[in-house]
Chain A
């Protein structure tokens, strides 16, 4: 095997991206726990931890640029770098949405009371969490089959998102919300929008993994 140094650098890049994925996933999990339990301190930790994700983003971007400039990668090596370069932005954005949710949790400062189906909301939360976890796993393992399943899973998330929005809008229209809960509804509308965006970035990661492994650009959405 030639180009040992390059192969080592490429492996380092992949490890860093997986590490970035792990802390991003932890932020998503933590913020959803904070939301569920109204844990302000945990939400604030998520906000503080975003610096780590941003630092990884900058580090990985510069690793990619350096490898492109100095090693002239080709074929799968090139696709790994191109995928990592784009995927770091997806992870960084997921981290930002976790911060946005955390800020809502801090602003609300108390358990939320909203007139929507808890089971659908819980399903949305669980689905988004598992999509993020699985997207990072697909990258780590190059699991194209799993990546391709994201399309259908995202359809379900989009359905739940629209359904919950409709429920809340109807509740507002029918005057079912007290003055207190109106602001909770507003916060929750933001939060589920952020969750839906997080799932979109997970789908992007799945698409990029398909490209990395097979060379075909796929656009599942």
Chain B
């Protein structure tokens, strides 16, 4: 793979109790690009991205081997500061999950947690983040309204703004548009094209066309393994593996 690598995963295995959810995952995630993860339900995609910001630590009986190298260190190491890690590698979930607070407080939440108290600074961060998430124009006159009054698509972009406010490097997105209508979905997809200039993005999606539209690289997961990882155009135009071909053409899965 040409270009700079943001995250390098080496021989990653992960178990929930006796169940092995990830098997010998090796993947290099390019910097300032969108990498899509596709595969049938239960194939390990979400488990994989949750490994990248150590969200799986919250699950009982989880154990893993291998390395996830980010900024020259193995983030799976026991001494990793996961709070600091999640500031650098943030996650957007399938269902928008704004806090039951004002729009402003949602975006200011992260910076406040990290000790920023100055109102002017918080306002600057909020404006920058909301602009970055392409929602500023829609909310700038109602920053004190409850975030729960926004539409689903707006809530999801607010959640992205909330992530941007803590200035991460990597955005992990677990089916960020699956609960949204086509217009809200296309806004998120347009946003991904903008965000990749400044961030590294990994997106899980069940929508093949979405993966094809937004990503430069795609990995096909199946039964906890990466069956094929290639440039998106290669994977969708000429997959090398029969299982990939059958999955992306809808012949199984």
Contacts and interface: CB of A to CB of B under 8 A. Distances in A.
Interface of A: 1-3, 6, 72-79, 214-216
A75 B249 contact: yes
B120 interface: no
A78 B209 CA distance: 13
B119 interface: no
Contact of A76 (B208, B209, B212, B245): B245
A1 B245 CA distance: 13
Given A1-B251, A2-B251, A75-B236, 6 more contacts: A2-B252, A73-B249, A74-B248, A75-B244, A75-B245, A78-B237
A3 B208 CA distance: 15
Interface in B224-248: 236-239, 244-245, 248
B242 to A, nearest CB: 10
Contact of A78 (B236, B244, B251, B252): B236
A73 B208 CA distance: 10
Contact of A75 (B209, B239, B253): B239
Contacts of B236: 74-75, 78
A2 B251 CA distance: 5
B3 interface: no
Contact of B209 (A72, A77, A79, A214): A72
Contacts of A6: 250
A156 B236 CA distance: 37
Given A72-B208, A72-B209, A75-B245, A216 B250 contact: no
Interface string B126-154: 00000000000000000000000000000
Given A2-B250, A3-B250, A3-B251, A75 B238 contact: yes
7 contacts: A2-B251, A2-B253, A72-B208, A74-B212, A75-B236, A75-B248, A216-B238
Nearest to B208: A74
Nearest to A76: B245
A77 B208 CA distance: 14
Contacts of A76: 245, 249
Interface in B29-76: none
A205 B212 CA distance: 28
A73 B251 CA distance: 11
Q: Nearest 10 CB-CB pairs, A to B? A: A215-B238, A3-B250, A74-B248, A75-B245, A74-B236, A77-B249, A75-B239, A75-B249, A72-B209, A75-B248
B237 A75 contact: yes
Contacts of B245: 75-76
A1 B251 CA distance: 5
A66 to B, nearest CB: 17
B218 to A, nearest CB: 11
Contacts of A79: 237-238
B249 A3 contact: yes
Nearest to A82: B237
